[in-house]
Amino acid sequence: MALRPEQLRAHLDKGSLAPVYLLAGDEPLQLQEAADALRRAAREQAYSERSVLQVDTGFDWGQLHAAGANLSLFGDRRLLELRMPGGKPGQIGGRVIADWCAAPPQDTLLLILCGRLDGAQRRAAWFRAVERAGQTLLVWPMNMQQMQRWVSQRLQAAELQPEPGAAAVLAERSEGNLLAASQEIEKLRLLQGPGPVSLETVSAAVADSARNDVFDLAQAAFSGESVRVLRVARRLQAEGAEPVLALWALAAGVRAAGRMRRGQPAREALQQNRVFGDLARAVERGVRRQTAAQWESLLGRCARVDRVIKGAGPGRVWSELVDLSLAVSGGPAMQEQA
């Protein structure tokens, strides 16, 4: 059967999971949040084991067949994720998926994650087998009316009450990019806290974001560019950028890097912490610069800088931000350079 993204929560609230789910599309935020919702539902229903199979060139489809044939080591329920970005399993893979769907193992929930599927792929025998055995959820780009409705709901979920026209401005400025809109909403909540949001506040916040790109500081830090860190920090401070936003970008990267160092897949760690684009690539390149323990220590430093920004700890805000950024980059602290 087919689900729409907005139907997923009600489906999961019924408490009975299908044996197979397929999530596909080219809108990463909706796909990630749908996958996270399914993972949470699976944990709540005692699917305590989780395995991931990544379909790439030369993938051995016998792994999926074996996963269905083997019992769980401790008799626990299992969540098996089959990540197939291209959505083309080929003849062998298609048969293996169809065979799985014909007789799904009772102790295993199969979650298939794909990119966008075209009409031919959706007519393939393996896809139709998934439809018969379980649930499919396809994500499509939103039109402007849908985007405005999504932004309004997202603002309300963040305990922000938009005045008339505010959601429309944010949707228009985001140009259909849900990731960008989500980040702007997080920034608004950080800047003003819960409560009413005026049209003027939204317009000013989006304009400031375009001029003062706080992600440049974090990107320079994770790229190991100490000199650029100093240059970007000076520019941001001179332009009146909000320190809390600069810290937010740094802390998100630090959390993602720490999880990657502890073995979490890079894509998953980055998406869970809302790290995307150039910053995500910089974090992936720089993750080996620190050990897992060092990333954990840097997360503690982020908390200390947060206290300084809020006036609850001693120190100068931008000096603390620069020192944190230099530590992330692997360079010496600003005081040590003097």
Share of the chain above pLDDT 90, in %: 48
pTM, full prediction: 0.65
The 3-class secondary structure across 124-190, one letter per residue, is CHHHHHHHHHCEEEEECCCCHHHHHHHHHHHHHHCCEEECCCHHHHHHHHHCCCHHHHHHHHHHHHH
For residues 90 and 118, the answer to whether their CB atoms sit within 8 Å is: no
What's the average model confidence in pLDDT over 16-41?
Answer: 91
pLDDT digits (tens, 9 = 90+) for 220-230: 999 999 988 99
Tell which residue, 302, 294, 310, has the closest CA to residue 249: 302
pLDDT category of residue 76 using cuts at 50, 70 and 90: confident
Tokens for 338, please give them: 């003097």
What's the average model confidence in pLDDT over 143-170?
Answer: 88
What's the average model confidence in pLDDT over 309-335?
Answer: 86
User: For residue 335, is pLDDT > 50?
Assistant: no
User: For residue 71, is pLDDT > 70?
Assistant: no
Instruction: Quote the CA–CA distance of 245 and 1 in Å, as a whole number.
Output: 42
Domains of the chain: 2-139 (3.40.50.300), 144-210 (1.10.8.60), 215-337 (1.20.272.10)
pLDDT category of residue 337 using cuts at 50, 70 and 90: very low
Give the least confident one: 85-89, 94-98, 272-276, 309-313. 272-276
User: For residue 338, is pLDDT > 50?
Assistant: no
Instruction: Quote the CA–CA distance of 114 and 84 in Å, as a whole number.
Output: 5
User: For residue 239, is pLDDT > 90?
Assistant: no
